[in-house]
Structure 1
Amino acid sequence: MNHDLAILDYEPAHQSAFRALNHEWIAHYFTIEPIDNEMLDDPEGYILAPGGHIFMACHNGELVGTCALIKEHEGVYELAKMAVSPRAQGVGIGWALGQAALAKAQEMGAHRVELLSNSRLGPALRLCEKLGFRHVPVPPTPYQRTDVKMVLDL
């Protein structure tokens, strides 16, 4: 692992970086949807308060990545809002975030982690496959961009 990389637990001071990192990738590939802004503007209310967790990746002293675990229901979490700034991609930050999230999910008693994505996000999907996720049918979701669902049984 990169020794200049630290995976941190989210703090309220990270909200603007959490929002900016997610806006950066969503706006690059898709359109920001109302549900995105609701979650990114209030991660404490949407993600943390219901029992989820957020990680931030600090590389060379700069917040360059993030991912969240959103509690769906008892024992099931969604891996969501994963973003790594383009200027920091390719050094293992996504892998480190994914590993941290899966370890935290197990610690919180999860038996399954799910994620929703889009087929245009090839590198992200390959990362998830490498982490052990498998493709399953896609249910209706609040996101127009979702055409991929993956699950990992812990």
Structure 2
Amino acid sequence: MAITTRLYRPEDRQAFIDLNRDWIEEYFELEDSDREQLEELETSILDKGGQIIVALLHDRVAGTGAILPPHCDPGDGRKWLEIVKMAARKGLRGQGIGRAVIDALIQQARAMDADAVWLETNADLTAAIRLYERSGFRHLGSDDLWPTPYARCNVQMVLELSSAAAAQAGA
């Protein structure tokens, strides 16, 4: 199974929306922040300096994810990016699509000169958490949590990309 990734194109819009709606509605309820990112993805992601990655399987969008400046700036002088809207097509989950997307997003973060990447998820999404952990993300402790616009998000994780960021995180 050859999974490839590339940057978002306008013709990917509906697939991005559908894949994310599917997983969110499967496990949770669509929230206002979801609606904004999905219905206004150009202004809520791309126009804010973000990028969307799509994973293709047999020339069909099988997964998505986005990276953009975070909704909350910790003000620590580092360049942060946030990963949002990671999704894989139902029936294809567990086949490497998420891995391909997260790897491409991390590569994109490096290309965007980020020092660190932040994300949030839900503790019930154990496969996603394992993927993030295997990709080098560490869990934030309760003293380090950022405000979240999502009721469902109860896990926050960070990936340090630069040695300076890693040293600062350890301080």
**Normalised-by-shorter TM-score class:** over 0.9
Shift of 1:139: 2.8
Structure 1 residue 14 displacement after superposition: 0.9
SS of 2:26's equivalent?
helix
Equivalent of 2:147 in 126, 140, 145: 140
Runs of at least 4 residues of structure 1 off by over 2 A?
137-140
Letter in 2 for 1:7: T
**SS across alignment from 1:86:** coil
Deviates more, 1:81-90 or 1:117-126: 81-90
Q: Partners of 1:54 and 1:149 in 2: how far apart?
A: 20
Q: Deviations over 1:100-151 (max 9, x none)?
A: 1001101101000000100000000000000000000333211000100000
> Partner of 1:25 in structure 2?
23
CA distance in 2, matches of 1:86, 1:124: 14
Residues paired across the two proteins, number: 152
The Cα RMSD (Å) is 1.2
Aligned counterpart, 1:67:
65
TM-score, normalised by the number of residues in structure 2 = 0.85
Contact 1:64-1:84 within 8 A present in 2 as well: yes
1:26 alignment partner AA: I
Q: Is the counterpart of residue 6 in structure 1 residue 4 in structure 2?
A: yes
- Match of 1:67, SS state, is strand
SS at structure 2 position matched to 1:152:
strand
Letter of the structure 1 residue corresponding to residue 43 of structure 2: G
Q: Percent of pairs identical after alignment?
A: 39
Counterparts of 1:8 and 1:41 in 2: how far apart (Å)?
Answer: 21
The equivalent residue for 1:56 is 54
3-state DSSP class of the match of 1:132?
A: coil
Distance in 2 of aligned mates of 1:135 and 1:146: 13
Secondary structure of 1:142 counterpart: coil
Decide which of 101, 112, 115 is 2:105's aligned counterpart: 101
Does 1:151 find its partner at 2:161?
Answer: no
Unaligned 5+ residue runs, structure 2?
162-171
Shift of 1:61: 2.0
In 2, the alpha carbon distance for the partners of 1:60 and 1:90 equals 17
Segments of 5+ residues of structure 1 without an aligned counterpart are none
Return the index of the structure with the highest Cα Rg.
2
TM-score after normalising by structure 1: 0.94
* 1:15/1:41 contact within 8 Å kept: no
Measured in 1, the distance between the counterparts of 2:69 and 2:8 equals: 16
Tell me the equivalent position of 1:84: 88
